[in-house]
Structure 1
Amino acid sequence: MEGDLGQFLRSRRARIHPADAGLPASGRRRVSGLRREEVALLAGVSVDYYIRLEQERVQNVSDAVLDAVARVLRMDDTERAHLRDLLRPARHVSRPVLRPGLGRLLDLADGMPAFVLGPRMDVLAWNALADRVSGFAGVPEGRRNQLLQVFLAPHTRTLYRDWPEVAAETVAYLRLYAGRHPEDPLLAGLVAELSAAPDFVRLWAEHGVAEKTYGTKRMRHPELGDLDFEYETLAVPGQPDLVIVMYTADPESATGRTVARLREEIGSSRELARSGRG
């Protein structure tokens, strides 16, 4: 039975036009993209071997073969890493440890919104500005997951001005995590719940993968108006499945001025609380 590896390879084959691989495109083709025998020919392996690879019936696949298949299927670095993860997944899922220092780091970074993402894109901690922008504290603890919010919370379709791009990115991040940790006991339940959303089902079937590194986040906040952030993702040493996400904006931009105003309001509230007048 074809599993995630076979489906991933098939999805990569389907996106490549034979002519782009230097092959004739004439004649009736029963599949979109490259045939299995064409991938085998271009990768320098037997057709039987490649078929068994897609069917996950081979073991100890060499790096040379993986590199050849990845080259033929025009995989980028993230897709190549995902291919290796599917063949050699991690067998241990570590429990994330939210060290006190991470919370203090978020507070020190209170100039801009910042939060910690854990496995499966769970939101584990945030600073005051991130809460003001994203409303994390108002979400029940078991629902503080970016995928659940994007696909199952109706307000996010208007909150994110580029919702289709946000949706595709979040699914691609989860696909990458799933390749690394297929035995995560909570993963199947999350995917099952998300499968109530047709958009998730469609994107999940595409097998796109992406690392969460940097990008833009364009919001239409119900109280703050349009917000245009750039975000950077920082790895947490010793915690490979934790990242810190920081939203930034040019101080002279409309978003930067909104953040400055929020920062002043938060600072004033803290001063009132410390003085006992809040």
Structure 2
Amino acid sequence: MPAHHPMGDYLRARRELVQPADVGLAPTGGLRRVSGLRRSEVALVAGISTEYYVKLEQGQETRPTDQVLDALSRALRLDATAKSYLYALARLVDEPEHPVSAPTVERTRWLIDSWPMTPAIILDRHSDIVAVNSLMSILIDGYRVGRNAVVVLLTDPALRELYVDWEGLSKRTIGLFRSRVGLHADRRTEQLIAELTRDSARFRELWNRHDIAGMTEGTHPMVHPRVGALNLHYAHLPLVGSDDHTIFLYYAEPGTHSEKALAELATLS
């Protein structure tokens, strides 16, 4: 198997998505053998030597300067999130594993259980579900302790029917998943990638693009089988004092149909 070089893999994937015209290069004659930019073209636009860029992709050079990273970000048309991810890949260091703070997670489980009108789950760094409150379990039946939220979203037909913009949500979720696990490859990450590659056509379509996304807050329109149309705001919050756990929650704007619908669902818990 080819060697795994996270930064090089990312650079290769991103240059394949950029066309010469995107960066102001004139088209060249003849058949192009690459789907995006050639290595030499990335190097030209970034103002570095082709030899140096090749070393970056092949993992022979692993400590580019901030100036080089900035130039590559411009050449590959990276947005702020993708640029930040490139910087993180370039500064990877081996970190010791820290045990999960069980009391922190347990207290947070008590907290979300006390929210009668706020569907919420607790996720670990792999998006494995470690806690679900009663309203979330009614809102989304597939979200259960021990399951993986990314796997559920991409493979459960009920969620494809639930989310109005499932296509956009699935793309952002895969980008968020990569941003969370791409810097900390481990056995669980490998298991999830293998499972999703096997079971999800959407994952196979998007994973190798190396898209990066952040989802801290926003709105998800839904059509729920029990209460109909919902327009719920969401928040994705870090859980301080834990091993990279997060809280994902939904809430409704006061006085709206969505608030009334959540209240109706809450009576079923």
- RMSD of aligned alpha carbons: 2.3
- Is 1:104 matched with 2:110? yes
1:191 equivalent in structure 2: 193
CA displacement 1:82-138 (0-9 Å, x = unmatched): 22333333533434335232123213443321221211111222322222212267x
Q: 1:208 to 1:2 in 2, by over 3 A?
A: farther
Task: With the length of structure 2 as denominator, give the TM-score of the two structures.
Answer: 0.87
**4, 9, 14: which one aligns with 2:11:** 9
Cα offset for 1:39? 1.4
Higher mean Cα deviation, 14-23 or 113-122?
Answer: 14-23
Q: 1:136 to 1:105 in 2, by over 3 A?
A: farther
What code does the residue aligned with 2:59 have?
E
**127, 130, 140: which one aligns with 2:133:** 127
Percent sequence identity over matched residues?
36
Alpha-carbon distance in 1 for matches of 2:243, 2:72? 28
Q: How does 1:187-226 map to 2 (within 5 A)?
A: 187-196=189-198, 197-226=200-229
Task: With the length of structure 1 as denominator, give the TM-score of the two structures.
Answer: 0.84
Does the CA-based 8 Å contact 2:92-2:183 persist in structure 1?
yes
Alpha-carbon distance in 2 for matches of 1:51, 1:131? 49
Does the CA-based 8 Å contact 1:93-1:181 persist in structure 2?
no
Number of residue pairs aligned between Structure 1 and Structure 2: 262
2:178 equivalent in structure 1: 175
Q: Secondary structure at the match of 1:247?
A: strand
1:41 equivalent in structure 2: 44
Q: Secondary structure at the match of 1:121?
A: coil
Alpha-carbon distance in 1 for matches of 2:202, 2:71? 33
CA displacement 1:209-235 (0-9 Å, x = unmatched): 112311222322222222221111222
Q: How does 1:238-249 map to 2 (within 5 A)?
A: 238-239=241-242, 241-249=244-252
Alpha-carbon distance in 1 for matches of 2:204, 2:248? 26
Alpha-carbon distance in 2 for matches of 1:8, 1:121? 22
Q: Secondary structure at the match of 2:187?
A: coil
**254, 260, 263: which one aligns with 1:260:** 263
Larger Rg: 1
Does the CA-based 8 Å contact 1:215-1:231 persist in structure 2?
yes
CA displacement 1:148-179 (0-9 Å, x = unmatched): 21223232222222221222122111211222
Does the CA-based 8 Å contact 1:90-1:181 persist in structure 2?
no
Unaligned runs of 5+ in 2: none
What code does the residue aligned with 2:214 have?
E
